[in-house]
Amino acid sequence: MSRLTAMLTDPQFWVPVLVLVAGLLVLAWIR
Amino acid sequence: MDPLDAGRLRRLQLAGIASGFTAGAWLGAAEAPTKMVTLGLSPVVISLTMVLGVFLARWSLPALLRGTAAIGADVRQAPHLVVWAVLAGCLWSVANTLTVFAIRDIGLSIAFPLWNANSLLGIVWGAVFFNELRGATWSRRSGVLGGAVLMCAGATLLAVASAAGVPGGHAARGVTAALAAGALWGTMYIPYRKAYLTGMNPLAFVTFFSLGEVGMMTVLALADRGGVASLAAELVGAREVLFWLLLGGFVWVIGDLFQQYAAKYVGISRGIPLSNTNQLWGLVWGLLVFRELLGRGGATYGQVIGGSLLMALGAGAIALASATRPEHDRWTEAAARESRRYGIDPAYVRAGLSGGSVDAATGRRTWLDWVLVGGATGVFVAFALIARLPQLTLAWEWVAGLVIAMVALLAGTGLLLWRTTRFN
């Protein structure tokens, strides 16, 4: 498994990504 | 991986706890230079300028302390962590911008405790993903959890006492913004902990963190101001006060560096709450130097004293609940997972976890290091030369006292870190 694949299948990667997307959505809503 | 000997583990824990307290002092003081800015700048532009100061400091301080050659060697060992560092920087910028809107809508007294709950989320992520508090005795778990709750309660009292007034308006929007900021800041520590369990040096991680931070903050500022021209015009118009914001960013970076070492050596479940003592230091600056609560009633001072005591008690409980051998063994298991999953040299991971380095390049400086240090210094000096000292009445004796205390913490903890880890 390459490092890229390891990262993309790592739940510890997707948690911060999803929280970042949610944060941007909240920011777009409150502005 | 071989376990650490008990003496080494104790010294690393002590270095991590001292780093957490020193981080609180310097992060809290970072607000002081920004109070010198009385011009009507937009909050997002203030935030962007501070981040630019952060960027300059984050590329020059690591070059000075460790050298870009050692940072490059770190990245070659674990290049995937650059993505994590940039991601963490983006999380920070969005969270920081959300706090501006939260304060606008619900006021500092309600907003601060909501986003300060990031320490509780950090405890959850630390336990779920990185085996923190696993293998710990109940007394130590209670010390960390109880301490974090006490600190949140103390933070609430301090925020109520220091609030200038509660603005009316969009309560639901403000509460959502504050909770979202706490979620982002609490989650930001996942990349931190991952990088440090893998063995990366904090001085390497922060340089790439700042790329995400400054990139995302620039995008947010451009969106807020409506384009490059209007943003540039606002920055040019404020050039006489930009130095104070850059200085705030620089002070913040020193605090953040210690926060990184705390996250590395005591984990995020303990490191975040200890760094959150910054609220206490921010209040001390406001109270003693800027005389912000002068003339307020006895109730306000009661809240300040009560809140400070609660925060100090909580921080003390966490500091006394440091990790013991069984818990540290579980951290080692989490580190071994990173080594296996990402194909990282186990010797590199082991060295990082024990506060060492396998990198022979440590200590060498190149021309690039001196260009980075000289360039950043030049920018600060240039803005200092055109800076205007605002007409503010400051209690200079308290400025001197607090600066001496901060420098003493910086020197003491810096020496401890150097002796224990050589800044690894």
**Distance in angstroms (rounded) separating the CA atoms of residues B340 and B319:** 32
Q: Could you give the count of Cα atoms lying within 13 Å of B220 in the half-sphere of its Cβ?
A: 32
Q: What is the pLDDT of residues B164-207, one digit of tens each?
A: 555 556 778 888 888 899 999 999 999 999 999 998 989 899 99
More confident residue, B334 or B47: B334
Highest mean pLDDT (candidates B34-43, B216-225, B227-236, B409-418):
B409-418
CB contact under 8 A, A3 and B79: yes
- C-alpha B178/C-alpha B314 separation (Å) is 22
pLDDT at B15 over 80: yes
Give me the pLDDT at residue B109, please: 66
B375-384 mean pLDDT: 94
DSSP string covering B276-332: TTHHHHHHHIIIIIS-TTTT--HHHHHHHHHHHHHHHHHHHHHHHT---HHHHHHHH
pTM: 0.87
Q: Are B251 and B259 in contact (CB under 8 A)?
A: no
Q: Residue range B395-421: average pLDDT?
A: 94
Residue B168: per-residue pLDDT: 55
Identity of the highest mean pLDDT range in A10-24, B17-31, B108-122, B358-372: A10-24
For the residues B357-378, what does the mean pLDDT come to?
A: 83
| Pairwise CA distance, residues B281 & B274, whole Å | 12
Contact call for A22 and B183, based on CB within 8 A: yes
Q: Is the separation of the CB atoms in B212 and B93 below 8 Å? A: yes
Nearest to B194 among A12, A20, A29 (CB): A12
Q: What is the CA radius of gyration of chain A?
A: 13
pLDDT score of B11? 93
Cβ of B91 within 8 Å of Cβ of A16? The answer is yes
Classify B158 as helix, strand or coil. helix
Asked if A12 lies within 8 A of B90 by C-beta distance, the reply is no
> How much is the pLDDT for B338?
92
At residue B40, does pLDDT exceed 60?
yes
Query: Which pLDDT does position B16 carry in this prediction?
Result: 94
The nearest alpha carbon in chain A to B176 belongs to A26
d(CA B409, CA B412): 5
Residue B162, pLDDT > 80, answer no
Helices B171-198 & B118-130 angle (0-180, nearest 10): 40
Burial of B279 (0-12, 13-18, 19+ CB in 10 A): buried
Q: Which residue has the higher pLDDT, B12 or B292?
A: B12
CB contacts of B79 in chain A (<8 Å) are: 3
User: For B276-298, what is each residue's pLDDT tens digit?
Assistant: 888 888 888 888 888 777 777 77
